Amino acid sequence: MAFGARLAAAMDQYGPLCVGIDPHPELLALWGMPDTAQSLGEFGETVLEASAGACAAVKPNAAFFERHGSAGMAALEHVLRRARELDLLTILDAKRGDIGSTMEGYADAYLAVGVPLEADAITLSPYLGFGSLAPAFELAKANGKGVFVLALTSNPEGASVQHAITPDGRAVAAVVADEAAALNSGAIPMGDVGLVVGATVGDAVQRLGIDLDRVNGPLLSPGVGAQGAGPAELSLVFGNARSRVLVNQSRGVLKAGPFVEKLRGAVTQASAAAQSILR
């Protein structure tokens, strides 16, 4: 079953929420945990237990595991494996992007079946050219996986690149959206190539001439809730594409830990809020 179809089914069943797994040192301290590789696995296990059956997907942030070296990567392998056992879709937030055989290597590392870091989807950076990501698109399609390509991010620095105008008169973000739309064309209920679009980008979608509905893929959106975006902002940014928006919540939910019951309550509440705002 294709990733887009699996994600659409999960969003319909559990609501359009993706819970981040971000074992940031400050969160570990808040949970009463030392900043060690062992804590990463325990942290991830708790988030997974709280999220199973309560949200559409989880998104481990690779950076917080990588900072602990090989032991941290072993913890990430455990989290991804455990998520599969719990039938939770995983989006690995690694923002990879390169050319040629190097991009093939990244694709093999995360999107091949049976590899230690196997995920259902991965975030990608298109700034070596959208076409450079082809090995990931091809392997994802072959293996029923997905990708989320950075398009309009919520950080203010992103605009200098993403809003830039190409020689053919289109904004860089519009080119990314158009390329994703071409890959998703005809997919039902939606394609496997998603975009990352921040909920706090204001009127950038309209100003840059981007048709998110035509993308026909999932839209992973940080910035909802504690970061300021509510119903009005979501309507402005996503318009008719709101039904394909997957809201990412990390620290706003994770601060409810470390007890599974309280954390699950926060996940359930955030999922209901996302459902109410978007659907």
- CA 204, 207, 210, 213 torsion-angle sign: positive
Nearest CA-CA partner of 3 in 114, 121, 115, 178: 121
> Which residue shows structure tokens 């076409």?
131
Rounded CA-CA distance 23/43 in Å is 7
Among residues 190, 188, 168, 189, which one has the least CA distance to residue 180? 190
Which one of 95, 141, 145, 255 is the catalytic residue?
95
Strands 17-21 and 245-249: parallel
Identify whether 95 is a catalytic site residue. yes
Going from the C-alpha of 26 to that of each of 102, 146, 255, the distances in angstroms are 33, 31, 10
Residues labelled as active-site residues: 95
